[in-house]
Copies of this chain bind each other. A is one copy, B any other.
C-alpha cells in the first residue's frame, strides 16, 4: 500500500505487485496439478497456497488454472505463464551466480598495461594460463611505457601493470 500526502491530502493507493514467491508456488502447482500435494512439497498448508495462487491470478487479471473440486489444469494463458515463470526463476539464479562470480573475480573485465619487454617474456604464458583458469574474464591489453602505466594505474585506467623496476616517477 502506497500512502502519499499531497497538498495536505492523504492519498492511499492500493497496488499489488507480483512476487517471485508466487511464481515459485505457481510452478509447483502446475507441476503437480494438485493443490494438496503442491502445498506439501512447498511446506505450507493447502489453503495458504490456494490463496496465493488466487492473488497471483487477481494481479494478472485472469485465470491461470481451471479447477473443479476434483481436477486442476492450466488454461491456455496459464500454459504461457508457466513457461515464462520457469524462465524468470532460472534467470534469477543465473543473475545471482553471475554476480557472485564477478565478486570472486571469476567474471568481469581486466585491463592490463604492459611494456614491449613483457610481450616476449612473462606475458604470453601468464595470459594463456589466466585465460584457461578464468574463461569468463575479458582481458584488455594496453602497450604502454613504464611511466604511462604508473599514470594509468593512478587514473584507474588499467588494473594491472607489467613494467620495468625501479620506477622513476613518484607513484
A residues at B contact (CB < 8 Å): 2-4, 17-21, 24, 43, 60-62, 64, 75-77, 80-81, 84-85, 87-88, 91-92, 94-96, 98-100, 102-103, 107-108
Q: Please, could you name 13 A-B residue pairs with CB atoms under 8 Å apart, sorted by A?
A: A3-B43, A4-B43, A19-B20, A60-B99, A75-B103, A76-B108, A77-B102, A80-B98, A80-B102, A81-B95, A84-B95, A88-B88, A91-B91
Chain A interface SS verdict (over half):
helix
Copies in the complex: 2
How far is it, in angstroms, between the C-alpha of A43 and the C-alpha of B2 when the chains are bound?
6
* Nearest CB of chain B from residue A103's CB, rounded to whole Å: 4
Inside 8 A of A94's CB, which chain B residues have their CB? 84
Inside 8 A of A85's CB, which chain B residues have their CB? 95
Q: Which of B2, B99, B103, B108 makes the CB contact (< 8 A) with A84?
A: B99
Q: Which of B75, B81, B92 makes the CB contact (< 8 A) with A88?
A: B92
Inside 8 A of A3's CB, which chain B residues have their CB? 43
A84 and B98 within 8 A (CB): yes
How far is it, in angstroms, between the C-alpha of A43 and the C-alpha of B17 when the chains are bound?
15
Q: Which residue of B lies closest to A77 (CB)?
A: B103
A92 and B18 within 8 A (CB): yes
| Given A3-B43, A88-B95, A91-B88: A77 and B100 interface contact (C-beta under 8 Å) | yes
Q: Which residue of B lies closest to A13 (CB)?
A: B43
How far is it, in angstroms, between the C-alpha of A21 and the C-alpha of B17 when the chains are bound?
8
B60 and A76 within 8 A (CB): no
| Given A80-B102, A98-B80, A108-B76: A24 and B18 interface contact (C-beta under 8 Å) | no
